[in-house]
């Protein structure tokens, strides 16, 4: 007598023992179907089943087996599952069980079966799809080259552990600043975020979240030294300011203008290097910046010295187009070279005069420090909200990081205030009474 035997749950088929034909087929599932499990109670006990001469009791037993398999989440997306396939000896088609498949379940199933990309492949895709949309594209390319040179670049992204990143963090911290290490870790963390949100790797864990980042304390208070004097030496042979030394120590025609604008207007180096001639109003002394770091445009007033420097530089040049040809990185490198030459010239002058050079001159001075210098110079002139509009800071907290007043300047301002004048008058009266 023909008999239906259920094979293993892995195969998920019901086979006729007499003819060997498959009478029922249920694929092995990976995700439970939503809602109630579909019932196979409507599987007919005639037709294909009757052709194999199976009793009604055995048919009910078969239906129970199939229902139990569905209850065990034996479900394989997508689409409809063939509950009873047509037997070779039968005349009627078996009933199909329709189970809805969510797109998320199908997507997760495909992702589990696919091979995760390596870190190098993920970074390359990030540079091609995400970085071009950001203003920090150049900086991210430099950070990406650092990650591509590491020993974990060829490892799948799901095999990278936080211990691997901790080892790299400690290695970088020995030779790099804390801010540099933090930027590198932040870049990798964003790569994982994009992979989870945009590339479909929803189950990918971000190992950077388990890495403690170094504490960044990069607040700068370096001011430009402008009281350089040597007895018996003229101002032409010994400039009075560090910036004058640096300007005289470069052969570039653009760097002196960039240094002057940075020290006079508090503009960022990227804003200066991207200036265009049609945005400069020399008549009213205003520079319009349509695209800034924080995404908002602003107008920057020019000091008389900055306006005269621009007027001389722009004489005979086209009325439209970019003013400078150097990039922000190239301007920084040119500033560093000029600073080194200025220090060498200063030491040679001190050696020729038999004097000890000042170790503070030109030491640690950066191009970005000129933005701090300009903010500190303009602070006594403008109110806080006006100064923020000029410098482009969004918050008072960031603005105060760039304001470094001189203690002697604050003391003079206090003495000239109404409070200081009243107290000075009382002191003079007290001294006059004592003398009398």
Please pick, among 88, 279, 298, 368, the residue that the annotation labels catalytic.
368
Q: Is there a catalytic annotation at residue 371?
A: yes
Please pick, among 63, 69, 307, 371, the residue that the annotation labels catalytic.
371
Report the distance separating Cα 391 and Cα 284, nearest Å.
19
φ, ψ of residue 9 in degrees (nearest 5): -65, -25
Are 84 and 24 a contacting pair, CB within 8 Å? yes
* Beta strand ranges found along 216-256 (DSSP E): none
Residues 6+ apart with CB under 8 A from 19: 2, 52, 87, 88, 89
The DSSP output letter for 15 is E
Residues 6+ apart with CB under 8 A from 332: 269, 366, 367
**Other C-beta atoms lying within 10 Å of the C-beta of residue 371:** 23
Please pick, among 268, 269, 307, 372, the residue that the annotation labels catalytic.
268
Please pick, among 63, 372, 393, 403, the residue that the annotation labels catalytic.
393
Report the distance separating Cα 311 and Cα 277, nearest Å.
11
Where does residue 40 rank: exposed (0-12), middle (13-18), buried (19+ CB within 10 A)? buried
Q: Which residues pair with 22 in a beta bridge?
A: 15
Please pick, among 73, 135, 293, 311, the residue that the annotation labels catalytic.
293
Q: Is there a catalytic annotation at residue 393?
A: yes
Q: Is there a catalytic annotation at residue 277?
A: no
Q: Is there a catalytic annotation at residue 293?
A: yes
Q: Is there a catalytic annotation at residue 192?
A: no
Provide the annotated active-site residues: 268, 293, 368, 371, 393, 402
């Amino acid at each position: 007598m023909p008999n239906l035997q259920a094979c293993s749950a892995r195969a998920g088929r019901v086979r006729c023992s007499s003819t060997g034909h498959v009478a029922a087929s249920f694929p092995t599932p990976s995700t439970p179907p939503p809602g109630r499990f579909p019932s196979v109670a409507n599987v007919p006990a005639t037709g294909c089943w009757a052709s194999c001469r199976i009793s009604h009791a055995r048919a009910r037993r078969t239906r129970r087996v199939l229902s139990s398999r569905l209850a065990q989440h034996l479900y394989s997306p997508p689409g409809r599952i063939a509950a009873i396939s047509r037997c070779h000896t039968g005349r009627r088609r078996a009933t199909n069980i329709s189970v809805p498949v969510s797109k998320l379940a199908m997507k997760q199933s495909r992702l589990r079966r696919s091979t995760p990309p390596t870190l190098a492949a993920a970074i390359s895709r990030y540079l091609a799809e995400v970085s071009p949309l950001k203003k920090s594209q150049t900086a991210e390319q430099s950070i990406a080259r650092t990650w591509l040179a590491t020993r974990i670049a060829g490892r799948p992204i799901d095999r990278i552990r936080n211990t691997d990143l901790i080892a790299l963090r400690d290695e970088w911290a020995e030779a790099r600043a804390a801010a540099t290490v933090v930027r590198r870790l932040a870049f990798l963390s964003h790569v994982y975020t994009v992979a989870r949100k945009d590339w479909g790797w929803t189950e990918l864990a971000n190992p950077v979240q388990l890495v403690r980042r170094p504490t960044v304390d990069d607040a700068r208070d370096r001011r430009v030294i402008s009281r350089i004097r040597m007895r018996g030496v003229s101002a032409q042979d010994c400039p009075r300011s560090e910036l004058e030394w640096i300007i005289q120590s470069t052969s570039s025609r653009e760097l002196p203008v960039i240094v002057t604008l940075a020290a006079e207007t508090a503009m960022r180096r990227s804003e200066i290097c991207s200036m265009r001639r049609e945005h400069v109003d020399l008549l009213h002394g205003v520079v319009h910046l349509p695209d800034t770091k924080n995404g908002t445009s602003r107008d920057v007033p020019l000091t008389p010295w900055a306006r005269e420097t621009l007027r001389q530089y722009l004489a005979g040049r086209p009325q439209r187009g970019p003013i400078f040809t150097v990039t922000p990185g190239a301007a920084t490198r040119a500033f560093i070279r000029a600073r080194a030459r200025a220090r060498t010239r200063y030491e040679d002058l001190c050696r020729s005069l038999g004097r000890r050079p000042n170790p503070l001159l030109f030491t640690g001075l950066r191009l970005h420090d000129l933005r701090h210098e300009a903010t500190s110079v303009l602070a006594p002139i403008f109110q806080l909200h006006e100064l923020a509009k000029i410098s482009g800071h969004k918050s008072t907290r960031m603005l105060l990081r760039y304001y470094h007043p001189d203690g002697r300047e604050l003391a003079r301002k206090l003495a000239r205030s109404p409070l200081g004048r009243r107290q000075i008058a009382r002191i003079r009266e007290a001294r006059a009474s004592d003398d009398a």
